[in-house]
Structure 1
Amino acid sequence: MKYKILALITPLVFALDQLTKALIRADLDLGERVSVIGGYLDIVHFTNYGAAFGILSNLKDSIRTPFFYGVSVLAVVIIFVMFAKLKRSSVYLPVVFSLILGGIFGNLTDRIRFGEVTDFISVHIRDAAVSLPIIGLVRLEWPAFNIADSAITIAVILILIGAIFFKEERS
């Protein structure tokens, strides 16, 4: 069962991620924003050289690129080792690992092809903003993300739920 889950979810997440990013790159100019749910959800075309929230995006390419390649490969190896140790009948953790792998492969593909990751989902609270000392006016908007990021986030949430409520499947 675990291999069927891996064979289904990982390529599905990867394909959805790459398809949506290709549509965004083809149809929206960089920085362009289209409202989907007025005041709350926009489709945007942003790029991110770093990790979540742009972390490490200001590093030199010569450091940042090999770092993200290395972290991605290491994460994939660790997940495959952990996956191999799971019971064949296991469902919960194979779903979690498959979501993470699909997300890793999606964002890694962007990094390899374009040197950056395409982000396009923007969640915000209308035009709300807060004035911060020194920084000035800051819009209350979650950093843009993509399908790969969403899959990894869902997996992390599932891990947290599992750690709290389901202790029997730990292998």
Structure 2
Amino acid sequence: MKVTRRSIYIIVTIIASIALDQVSKVWVRTNVKRGSQSSIIGDYFSLHNVENTGAFLGMGGDLEDPLRTILLLVLPVLVLGFVLRYIFKDKSLDNWSLFAFASIIGGGIANVYDRFVYGSVTDFWYVKLTDTLRTGIFNVADVFVTTGMIILVFITLFKKKAKPD
């Protein structure tokens, strides 16, 4: 593989997202009592320490092995590998798309790493704006994945279509 500015941009984004996520999780595991809840900004933003054995919002955490292993470890690794291959091969992707895909890959790798090493993913942030407008408990990797997805949606919705000749 030829090392280009583009490939460095992809790799740095992936590594940075993994590093930020893992550092934050180590800090939470070390400094926040498991199962605790601390207010950061009133009732709107709080810090927790929970172990999520499932995926998004705990989905799949109660599945039996080997289905759980396939859906939460094997399948994500395959998908992340295909997306990584895609962004290295498709030279037409703009920088925002590259950042979005690399963020998704980095966040995905960070959470898969936790599932593999710890058997669960450490989640710690919770946002509650109203009783109906609130999040589940999430982590930095989830922020990278979600941000990447939002960027891709905006790119898709607002992409300027090439004018026919």
Fold similarity call, TM over 0.5: yes
Residue 29 (structure 1) aligned with residue 29 (structure 2): no
SS of residue matched to 2:66: helix
Residue 15 (structure 1) aligned with residue 11 (structure 2): no
Q: Deviations over 1:69-121 (max 9, x none)?
A: 11221112211221122227831221111101110111011001110000001
Residue 60 (structure 1) aligned with residue 64 (structure 2): yes
RMSD: 2.0
Aligned identity (percent) is 28
Query: How do 1:1-171 residues align onto structure 2 when only pairs under 5 Å count?
Result: 1-87=5-91, 90-125=94-129, 128=131, 141-167=134-160
State the TM-score, normalized to the length of structure 2. 0.87
Closer, same or farther in 2 for the Cα pair 1:108/1:4, shift >3 Å? Answer: same
More strand by share: 1
Paired letter, 1:150: V
State the TM-score, normalized to the length of structure 1. 0.84
Deviation at 1:168, TM superposition (A): 5.7
Paired letter, 1:154: T
Q: Distance in 2 between matches of 1:48 and 1:146?
A: 11
SS of residue matched to 1:125: coil
Q: Distance in 1 between matches of 2:148 and 2:111?
A: 15
Q: Distance in 1 between matches of 2:83 and 2:160?
A: 19
**Residue ranges of structure 1 left out of the alignment (5+ in a row):** 130-139
Q: Distance in 2 between matches of 1:168 and 1:100?
A: 25
Superposed structure 1 runs of 4+ greater than 4 Å apart: none
Paired letter, 1:42: S
Is contact 2:84-2:102 (8 Å) kept? no
**Residue ranges of structure 2 left out of the alignment (5+ in a row):** none
Q: Deviations over 1:6-41 (max 9, x none)?
A: 121111100010000011111112111111111100
Q: Which moved more, 1:151-160 or 1:25-34?
A: 25-34
